[in-house]
A and B are shown apart, each in its own frame.
Chain A
Amino acid sequence: MGEDAESPKINHTFLRDYVTEADVISTVEFNQTGDLLATGDKGGRVVIFQRETEVYSGEYNVYSTFQSHEPDFDYLKSLEIEEKINKIRWLPQQNAAHFLLSTNDKTIKLWKVSERDKRPEGYNLKDEEGRIKDVSTITSLQVPILKPTDLMVEVRPRRVFANGHTYHVNSISVNSDGETYLSADDLRINMWHLGITDRSFNIVDIKPANMEDLTEVITAAEFHPHHCHLFVYSSSKGSLRLCDMRASALCDKHAKLYEEPEDPGSRSFFSEIISSVSDVKFSHSGRYMLTRDYLTAKVWDLHMDKGPVETYQVHEYLRSKLCSLYENDCIFDKFECVWNSSDSVIMTGAYNSFFRMFDRETGRGVTLEAWRESSKPRAVLRTRRVYTGGKRRRGDVGVDSLDFTKKILHMAWHPAENIIAIAATNNLYIFQDRVNPDAQTQ
């Protein structure tokens, strides 16, 4: 799925710039093989892309589209429930069908995505249009046979996990056991069985007895990729808590607490905001965790809780602009972060359609841009730079020229290859590494 071809005759610029709020992509996720890519948007729709298998390093084309969530209303609390898809997670594939979980603020749904390329023909009691035949006209019996037809993709809701959360759901994570998954809201984490919708187990509850004493909320949660009893959740205070479900039914008490002491010299009005963790991801190896706060991305070693082992400055030049970013609400943006398949590179988004990749071995970072004006299909992305002083190079962008409405919040990295999917407002960009299409093994 590349970019749309531009018509040379009609100027579509004004149409392109107009973005319907509902079309803004809110989540992106590859399945376990990388053949399918799902996106969710603010309008509650899910679009699934499938990779061409016949061609090596083929493109992604639209596979299926369906309406996952509708706007809802809680009459008891007089609250509108947004249909925006917060997260999508694929289940490990067990048969020909694919399953995915999608969630909005309140309700999680399990969808079955299956293909149908054959249809039965030759019914005895029904005609071709499906109308019941007059029995008196039937003179002989025939055995219906399956005949190939055009491929049809069917998406059906198989489970609806409702009424499990009082607050806004921010994360879902499928367990490695293949049977359970967790869902996290601001104050609680629930564990569900994929087959049971009428009950869930609450495993974390940080709601204080007196809401006046509230000091932090849960911002993200994820199961360990290999150990089905371990999960991690991040907080608005910048800490991570690793919990072991074998220890007790309620994991309010963490097994390990990961936090970095605050530097008193850098204290500001916005210290609490910029230290809030917006995303946490386990590495594929399960040894490390990657977190993102407003200005940095950090790699944590599960064996060391005193602080991160690596810290990457994503856009340190924004530190002096925090007041303006607070005024225009950009300081509350929640950026995601991802690992590559070999855990050697991490990636996260920024403003002005920029996203950043950091090589963990060298510690070096590169800035790339997801913007159709500056890249054509098949063209090699050139690196970008934000000018923060020193010698200014051609193409550098000044900090004050950054477009804060163009933010890269959501992204995904193919589980096996160097293919990345970047959501830029209502556009999806898929980039592939031509030099090293396969990830380097370590």
Chain B
Amino acid sequence: MINTMECVADAQSLISISLMKIHNSRTQRGGIKLHKNLLVSYVLRNARQVYIKEKYAEIYRMQQYEEVMTVCNEIQELNPLELDAEDTEDEDLTRTACCGEEFHRGSIKEPEPVYYRSCCMEAPLPSPCDQLPVNINMHCNKTTVLDLDTHVVTTVDNGYIHQDCCCDAFQCAQSAQSPAKKRKMDFGYCASDLDDFTTSRKRLKREDCLYSCQDFTDTSNISNLISIFGSGFSGLLSRQADLEQICSKQALAGLGAWTRAIVAF
């Protein structure tokens, strides 16, 4: 396990630095260096592990705190003849157990890819807990997506998926599939494919300069970027998502760009 003395801030900066290196490698002379980018992906994975572990620990602590507070409140209002309170308690405990399970599963789930919801969620969501709420910024209802090519970040409101974004996600996901198959046959073609697709597809945009470190170290941005990556090196390349889930997983809309960025490795 990574030395947990490394704080989350280090993990965040390493993630942003690593992403920058991967991006810069696409334009350097002599082509993408497979060895170097493989090593960078390891750093990225390690930093991500630390970052997510800390986030889960924080979520777990917060949920435990909320559970304690809820119990305390109920104790104060406790009416032995009212059954609803018990049901609520059970529900909370179930959710806690569910999330606790997810936490446990998340910490050992390597290198199988896990898809996280990139969009923020309000704390008491009734939706089934089949996706892990990575972003702990409870007040943010936005999803940030990144365009490697135009260096623009766009923040998209959660639950209000732009039509063009959705369609592009579908297109990106579909188009990402065929070049991925092609690349399996001959890896060497990927770099040229990279350039083809980056210019022809509409990307999710980043508003600010890519090189602004401030943006990269912003917690919500990092959380969203992590969700895009999934887990492990194998998670850097997308498996094909279900079409029904594409609209609900805004992060996957950007997977096309990431696939093309990383597939060369």
Binding site for B on A (CB under 8 A): 76-82, 84, 105, 166-168, 186-187, 207, 209-217, 219, 236, 264, 267-273, 276, 323, 326-327, 329, 332
Q: Which residue of A lies closest to B20 (CB)?
A: A327
Interface contact tally, CB-CB below 8 A: 103
Residues of B near A167 (CB, < 8 A) are: 34, 187-188
Of the residues B2, B39, B234, contact of A212 by C-beta under 8 Å: B234
In this assembly, does B265 line the interface, its C-beta being within 8 Å of a C-beta of chain A? Answer: yes
Contacts A267-B2, A268-B2, A269-B46: A79 and B234 contacting too (C-beta < 8 A)? no
Residues of A near B191 (CB, < 8 A) are: 77-79
Residues of A near B187 (CB, < 8 A) are: 166-167, 207, 211
Contacts A78-B192, A78-B195: A272 and B234 contacting too (C-beta < 8 A)? no
Interface size bucket, B side? Answer: 35 or more
Contact B43 A236 (CB under 8 A): no
Interface residue SS majority, chain A = loop
Of the residues B2, B186, B263, contact of A269 by C-beta under 8 Å: B2
Contact B10 A214 (CB under 8 A): no
Contact sample, A vs B, 22 pairs, CB 8 Å cutoff: A77-B31, A77-B189, A78-B191, A79-B192, A168-B30, A168-B33, A186-B34, A211-B183, A211-B187, A214-B233, A214-B265, A215-B233, A217-B35, A236-B39, A267-B1, A267-B2, A267-B3, A269-B43, A270-B46, A272-B43, A273-B42, A323-B10
Task: Mark out the residues of chain B between 189 and 242 whose CB falls within 8 Å of any chain A CB in the assembled complex.
Answer: 189, 191-192, 195, 233-234, 236-237
CA distance A187 to B186 in the complex (A): 13
CA distance A253 to B215 in the complex (A): 47
Binding site for A on B (CB under 8 A): 1-3, 6, 10-11, 14, 17, 21, 29-31, 33-36, 38-39, 42-43, 46-47, 50, 183-184, 186-189, 191-192, 195, 233-234, 236-237, 263, 265
Contacts A213-B234, A269-B46, A269-B47: A187 and B34 contacting too (C-beta < 8 A)? yes
> What 5 A-B pairs have minimum CB-CB distances, sorted nearest first?
A272-B42, A82-B30, A212-B237, A78-B192, A166-B188
CA distance A216 to B34 in the complex (A): 10
Contact B184 A211 (CB under 8 A): yes
Residues of A near B38 (CB, < 8 A) are: 214-217, 236
Contact B46 A80 (CB under 8 A): no
Contact B188 A212 (CB under 8 A): no
CA distance A107 to B14 in the complex (A): 36
CA distance A267 to B184 in the complex (A): 33
